[in-house]
Amino acid sequence: MQPKLTLLSEDLIPRILEEAYQLMLKPGVKVLNAEARKLLAEAGAQVDEETFVVKIPEQIVHKALETIPRQFHLYDYEGNPRVQYGDDAVHFDPGSSGVTILDPDTFEHKTTETHDLIKLIKVAEQIPQYDAQSTAVVCDDVPKDLHDLYRLYLVMLYSKKPIVTGAFTNTTVHHMIEMLAIFAGGREQLREKPRAIFDVCPSPPLIWSNFGAGNLIALARAGVPAEIVSMPLAGAAAPVTLLGAVTQHAAECLSGITIHQLAKPGSPIVWGGAPAIFDMRKGGTPMGAVETAMIDSSYAQVGKSLGLPTHAYLGTTESKVLDMQAGLESGMGALIGALSGINMISGAGMLDSLLCQSPEKLVIDAEGIAMAKRMIAGMKVHTETLATGFYDNNINFKGGDFLKQKITMQLFRKEQHIPSSVIDRDSIRGWKEAGGLDTFGRAKLRVKELLASYTPPVLDPVKVERLHAFVFDLAHKAGMDTLPAHELAPATP
Amino acid sequence: MFEELYKQMAQSIIEGEKETAIELAQKSIELGIPPLDAITNGFVVGVNYIGDLFGKGEAFLPELVMAGEAMKAAVAVLEPELLKLGEAREMMGRVVLATVEGDIHEIGKTLVGTMLSASGFEVVDLGVDQPAEKIIGKALEIDAQLIGLSALLTTTMVRQREVIEELDKEGLRPRIKVMVGGAPITREWAEKIKADGTSEDAVGAVQLAKKLVGKD
């Protein structure tokens, strides 16, 4: 039995949905993309072309909800299904769109470049707790026009895992779909076995930007999964109450889903988000606050009541260094997300309210994630009798009796998660002899080990060649003669 | 010429398959393989392998214990043959193990006993709550070179010192060496009470014991 956390009582869910439908009529949803407004108008929504506010009646939304796939998968490079969206499957991926990386020696938050993203990919590639890669940081050493697709390019070269990504414009989303199609072997193959999912963000409150709605339409038509990342900020860009934020989240997601399904019924889309409460002292968006996690858990429950796949941003922190705050906020977030049965939980590795990535945090978070995954694996009945069968004739009433049982050897790995060297369970003496390191010190060592043990994926050279050519062509158009050097860059561009 | 069989023997220990280890030991007798060769070229290789993995954190206590148990079982089959041939497995040394008076914790000590036996020591494990005179008496009785003292509690670890002081008083050291162990035991403590050494785990205890008897 997978243990579940449910914060909403049964009677609250219909109330949330009822009010979300009301919000879509009054005040309505502001849609800044002409094509999306056209799709909505044709379906029967009332569009004000002066204010771009669209009043979306419930029936159109219901129709969209009927055509959404309840379940789909993301595939790895080889085409194996690795991530299940739907039901209570739980996966984790590193948080994305960071702009800095924590220097583990100086604690400086440095602007990220090509080599930083590669380091993050190499570490995440080898950690089984991450079922997908993310395009974790923006690389400042390439022009802005390439920022989104260049991240995807590097992940495709250095990883075989599924990818959580996102486009920054309505042009580049098409480029990125094309890049994925090159590796998939064509548009149709990409549609059948998508490797990546694209985060698409509405702007709170109740706004679909030109770019957000444009991305929804492009992704729907390509049949590449979209993940709505709705971000109500309770108390600033959404009602101060947690339930008010959950309701606005529902309205933003439902309106997005409607645009998406009108563009192409049956395309995969996810009920996701990155909400937060609004910090009333600093004006920040505390991603590690427990109330933030409560909003996430609750909207996931609403999404599940509609039978939809879910996503959330959890397991992250406001802390600037890898300290106790980082640990407790990230660990609690991961556990709440897992117990809520959220299909994809993004945020691992991130500090400073999703601005700063850290490979060292990735290896520490992996342990919290492992604990959360063990928790939701639940209490298992492995044996016919629960205990009596263990007390055979060899029991001498000694403490070590059970260590000598074959079944102990057979089952201990199934019952216990064996932590990596990041977790210390040594005696004080063993700990001192190992260097007397704290979590951060052990994480630094583990990152060094992972970077040393990384081997590049074996990819089809013809596809890689085509990918290089495609990205280099775009780089030329963006005014670059060459792209930054790195170990898997082509010898002759 | 028996390479394949030796490999199977090592594998039976690595997998902690006691029954297989016993069968292979019997088979080696039928084939006329000298028992010492079976132990040295076969079973011991397995024990060393799993011990190394444990030291690296890649094998775990259940595997270590099962390997030790399988080793003991295989050696028990081969020992009568050794006696018949008038040979003996090179005995590393005789050890008396005990948990000190007032303390009843012994998982670690039992583990040390298993690993010491598997590595060729002759081990008498007195069990828990053992007063100094009884431990020393047994050591003299079997002519032990080593005493291993276990304590889990900070309140009972002082008893380790009592045993050592008693040995000193009777002039039995350095003839009998003392190793101490247990969760609260640090190297500083071992030095302070003038023990001959301490180890963090059972694999380390075997290395320490070999060193103390001059066979490392």
Report d(CA B202, CA B95) in Å as an integer. Answer: 14
Return mean pLDDT, chain A: 96
In terms of domains, do B97 and B66 share one?
no
Q: What is the pLDDT of residue B79?
A: 85
A23 pLDDT exceeds 60? yes
**What residues have CB less than 8 Å from A484, skipping those under 6 apart?**
A113, A114, A115, A139, A141, A142
- Whether B16 sits inside 8 A of A399 (CB atoms) is no
CA distance A236 to A222: 35
| Predicted confidence (pLDDT) at residue B31 exceeds the cutoff of 70 | yes
Judge whether residue A400 has pLDDT over 80.
no
CA distance B127 to chain A (A): 10
**Chain centroid to CA B94:** 9
What's the whole-number mean pLDDT along residues A58-81?
97
Q: pLDDT band for A117, please (50, 70, 90 cuts).
A: very high
Per-residue confidence band for A94, with pLDDT thresholds at 50, 70 and 90: very high
Whether B80 and B97 share a structural domain: no
pLDDT at position B82, please?
82
CA atoms within 13 A on the CB side of A218: 24
Which CATH number characterizes residue B150's domain?
3.40.50.280
Domain boundary among B84, B118, B147: B84
According to the model, what pLDDT value does residue A492 have? 60
Q: Is the pLDDT of residue A430 over 90?
A: no
Q: Is the pLDDT of residue A351 over 70?
A: yes
Q: Are residues B114 and B197 in the same domain?
A: yes
Q: What is the pLDDT of residue B57?
A: 85
* Domain shared by B99 and B196, yes or no: yes
Task: Say yes or no for a CB contact (<8 Å) between B65 and A412.
Answer: no
- What is the model's pLDDT at position A305? 98
Please check the confidence at residue B184 and state whether its pLDDT lies above 70. Answer: yes
The residue-averaged pLDDT of A238-248 equals 98
For chains A and B, CB pairs below 8 A equal: 40
In this structure, the answer to whether residues B54 and B143 fall within a common structural domain is: no
Q: What is the reported pLDDT for A491?
A: 73
Whether the predicted pLDDT of A161 surpasses 80: yes
Residue A70: how many other CB atoms lie within 10 Å: 12
Q: B43 with B76, same domain?
A: yes
Angle at A416 between CA A411 and CA A421, to 5 degrees: 130
Over residues B159-171, mean pLDDT: 94
On the 0-12 / 13-18 / 19+ scale of CB atoms within 10 A, A126 is middle
Average pLDDT over residues A478-492: 88
Residue at which a domain ends, from B57, B84, B111: B84
Q: What is the mean pLDDT of residues A426-430?
A: 83
Using a CB-CB cut-off of 8 Å, the residues of chain B touching A401 are: none
Mean pLDDT of A421-426: 94
| The pTM of the whole model exceeds 0.95 | no
Q: Of A207, A260, A215, A257, which is closest to residue A232 (Cα–Cα)?
A: A207
Give the per-residue pLDDT at A229. 98
Instruction: Please give the tally of structural domains in chain B.
Output: 2
To the nearest whole Å, the CA of B213 is away from the closest chain A CA by 24
Q: In the prediction, which pLDDT does A401 show?
A: 81
Q: Which of B107, B186, B187 sits opposite A399 (nearest CB)?
A: B107
| A276-277/A233-234 β-pairing | parallel
A91 has pLDDT over 60: yes
User: CA-CA distance, B110 to B97, in Å (whole number)?
Assistant: 8
Q: Taking residues A146-175, report their average pLDDT.
A: 97
pLDDT at B87 over 80: no
The answer to whether residues B196 and B108 belong to one domain is yes
Percent of the residues in chain B that have a pLDDT greater than 90, as a whole number: 63
Asked if B16's CB is within 8 angstroms of A403's CB, the reply is no
Above pLDDT 70, what percent of chain A?
A: 99
Whether the per-residue pLDDT at B106 is higher than 90: the answer is no
The predicted-structure confidence for A291-332, as pLDDT tens digits, reads as follows 999 999 999 999 999 999 999 999 999 999 999 999 999 999
Last residue of a domain, one of B62, B84, B106: B84
- Residue B75 sits in the same domain as residue B112: no
Q: Which range among A84-88, A208-212, A330-334, A487-491 shows the weakest confidence by mean pLDDT?
A: A487-491
Per-residue confidence (pLDDT) for residue B88, from 0 to 100: 67
Q: What residues of A are in contact with residue B106 (Cβ under 8 Å)?
A: 398-400
Mean pLDDT is lowest, of A12-21, A156-165, B185-194, for: B185-194
Omega before residue B35 within 30° of 0, cis = no
pLDDT at residue B89 tops 80:
no
Q: Which domains does chain A carry?
A: 65-377 (3.20.20.480), 388-453 (no CATH)
Mean pLDDT is lowest, of A109-113, A221-225, B183-187, for: B183-187
Tell me if B111 and A403 make a contact (CB, 8 A cut-off): yes
Q: Do B65 and A400 touch (CB under 8 A)?
A: yes
Q: Are residues B65 and B157 in the same domain?
A: no
* Residues of chain B with C-beta less than 8 angstroms from the C-beta of A406: 16, 66
- Are A412 and B200 in contact (CB < 8 Å)? no
> Which range (A246-255, A458-467, B27-36, B78-87) has the least confidence?
B78-87
Q: Does residue B130 sit in the same domain as residue B54?
A: no
| pLDDT in the model for residue A119 | 98
pLDDT score at B12: 97
Range of the domain at B36: 3-84
**Mean pLDDT confidence for B98-107:** 89
Would you say residue A490 has pLDDT above 90?
Answer: no
Nearest to A429 among B69, B110, B187 (CB): B187
Whether residues B73 and B98 share a domain: the answer is no
Q: What is the ipTM of this complex?
A: 0.76
Kindly report the backbone phi and psi dihedral angles of residue A375, in degrees, each rounded to the nearest multiple of 5, phi listed first: -60, -45
Following DSSP, what letter does each residue of A255-324 receive, concatenated? HHHHHHHHHSTT--EEEEE--EEPPTTT----TT-HHHHHHHHHHHHHHHHTT--BEEE-S--S-SSSSH
Read off the pLDDT of residues A187-214 as tens digits, 9 standing for 90 and up.
Answer: 999 999 999 999 999 999 999 999 999 9
Query: Same domain for B98 and B146?
Result: yes
- Report the CATH number at residue B38: 1.10.1240.10
What residues does A73 pair with on adjacent strands? A84
- Search chain A and give the residue with CA nearest B56: A421
